[in-house]
Structure 1
Amino acid sequence: MAKIIISCAVTGSAHTPSMSDALPVTPEQIAEQSIAAAQAGAAIIHLHARNPEDGSPTGDPDVYARFLSVIKQRSDAVVNITTGGAVTMSVHERLAAALRFRPEMCSLNMGSLNFAFFQAADRITAWKHPWEQAYVVNSDDYIFRNTFRDIRTILERMGESGTKFEHECYDVGHLYNLAHFVDAGLVTPPFFIQMIFGIMGGIGPDLENLTFMKATADRLFGRGTYQWSVLAAGRHQMPFLTQAALMGGNVRVGLEDSLMIARGTLAASNAEQVAKIVRILHEMGHEPATPAEARAMLGLKGGDRVAS
């Protein structure tokens, strides 16, 4: 049976507490949902942090510390800390936790883009916290900055500690940006490409785009030099992941990417989404990779070489 790496992005920064009661906000909630997702079959846990008082995004390493230690004590999952943080943060704020904890993996967005989710405001009738509405509505004016200098800085500073990356590619041009850094020797095989579909400002959620992105990656990097994974926003999540698995790719679920478990039904937890994709993979003859298998596939340094 082919082994498929399942990543789970448990909270993110675009969704807000008013959009789903299941979205983990406090360090305790983030830890519990991360551990449950790992128990359900996720090998990699992708992590953002939120202010416990109101659920707003934060890059504060002290907040990360409150859940990272618990996850490490109670799970063998690979911890993947964002360097994207939130679109409203500076690069310094986004990188602070990764620099402090030197995890096995970090996410790294491979280019700048318009990053918008303002349409979600139309579905909210009552906001739980004062910050939420303006944060969502004003996303029509957000630019997610990831310049070539930003990317090089993150690669160099995190590479010093042996951290590898989930290279997040929101469009075809981001694959070419990654190829630039591969050619420069700052990214070496085996590397991990996360192809992202359906974010407003990125490549659209059409299955033909998935085929084209994969073909472009093969042309740029050659087969066998990289592992690839797919995430898709909202209702496109499970159809895209199913197609990716059919094509030999890995998959990412989580409440960062979609708040739903089925059409019209909010997910009760991250673990519920993990369990659903595990069932789909089993039906196709695949097995979820264990954390140890994911480490071997991605060439990671191991959980004993991190600072948390």
Structure 2
Amino acid sequence: MAKRPKTIITCAVTGAIHTPTMSDALPYTADDIAGQAIAAAEAGAAILHLHARRPEDGGVTIDPDAFAAFLPRIKQATGAVVNISTGGSLKNSIEERIAPALRFSPEMCSLNMGSMNFSFHPLASRYDSWKFDWEKDYVANSDTYIFRNTFRDIETVARALAPHRIKFEHECYDVGHLYNLRFCMDIGLFKAPIFIQFIFGILGGIGPEVDNLVFMKRTADRLFGEDYRWSVLGAGGAQMSLATTASQMGGNVRVGLEDSLFISRGQLATSNAQQVTKIRRIVEDLGCEVASPDEAREMLGLKGGDQVAF
């Protein structure tokens, strides 16, 4: 029998959806983001997917100076691959969204492969009071958000970051995004091996059913053949179940407080590391090995941690 590939664990540490009211564990100061990222790496995450927050109130920021407050500390303390978001904010231009990547030249960046409705407004009704004034309107008004990622936006990112030899986590929220990615490869924007993140359970994207995972995987096989690696992000309550299924299908997994605030049904996670520890235990108990950061670098064709600018 062929040896099963090792499983890469990505941890998405804080994101841009959840707010401080929703969980005391959600990190938003530089100290907390760095501390939780380092702990997640120690627990087994090979890749750390990072956003920045305003330290005074936990709001979303794409100011490169906010990233500068924690990136060097994470690099010094871990060997993990750093992946900086180019999504970051639903209200900023693509040029603004890639500013942190241009400054810090990480090994990886996320890149959404299509425009979409992107909403989490149902969460607003769950809370009677909020820690900070900005939170309620931000969440409640997300039913007006369009997450813009046009073909021109995608090309802008690809060409601007090409000199930095950054590899992308191609975030695909629906099957059409896979065809968008295939088109972009055909016109020379991206080269194999590519890394696709199948995303399930975001309101505005494909639902978190196993049938949809199988469909996305079959479609990707047809479009990309042997030229891709893949991972699964299940939002909310789908996080652990879909990650477990993906690992058994030969894929990689993503967890973290960006994607779900819970460790089990009805129980808030205490940290990102707790989620990493759980999925690592599941993956290993089911007979898979977890990839180290350097093994992930080799699998994904990354430039190396010594080639970043932080």
What TM-score, normalized to structure 2?
0.98
* 1:235 matched residue in structure 2: 237
Shift of 1:130: 0.5
* 1:50 matched residue in structure 2: 53
Equivalent pair of 1:2/1:285 in contact (CA under 8 Å): no
Match of 2:133 among 122, 125, 130: 130
Shift of 1:90: 2.1
AA aligned opposite 1:41: G
| SS of alignment partner, residue 208 of structure 1 | helix
How many residue pairs match? The answer is: 307
* 2:261 matched residue in structure 1: 259
Q: Is it true that 1:219 corresponds to 2:222 in the alignment?
A: yes
* 1:111 matched residue in structure 2: 114
| SS of alignment partner, residue 16 of structure 2 | coil
Match of 2:273 among 271, 285, 291: 271
Equivalent pair of 2:94/2:157 in contact (CA under 8 Å): no
Shift of 1:10: 0.3
What does 1:107-256 correspond to in 2, within 5 Å?
A: 107-222=110-225, 224-256=226-258
Match of 1:92 among 95, 101, 114: 95
Shift of 1:120: 0.7
Q: State how far apart, in whole Å, the 2-side matches of 1:208 and 1:23 are.
A: 31
| SS of alignment partner, residue 69 of structure 2 | helix
| Unaligned 5+ runs, structure 2 | none
| Unaligned 5+ runs, structure 1 | none
* 1:6 matched residue in structure 2: 9
AA aligned opposite 1:253: V
AA aligned opposite 2:309: A
What is the CA RMSD across the aligned residues, in angstroms? 0.7
AA aligned opposite 1:152: E
* 2:302 matched residue in structure 1: 300
| SS of alignment partner, residue 229 of structure 1 | strand
AA aligned opposite 1:10: V
What TM-score, normalized to structure 1?
0.99
Q: State how far apart, in whole Å, the 2-side matches of 1:45 and 1:292 are.
A: 13
Extract structure 1 runs of 4+ deviating beyond 6 A: none
* 1:284 matched residue in structure 2: 286
Shift of 1:277: 0.2
Q: State how far apart, in whole Å, the 2-side matches of 1:150 and 1:88 are.
A: 14
Q: Give CA deviations for 1:132-158 in whole Å, capped at 9, x if unaligned.
A: 000000000000000000000001111
* 1:61 matched residue in structure 2: 64
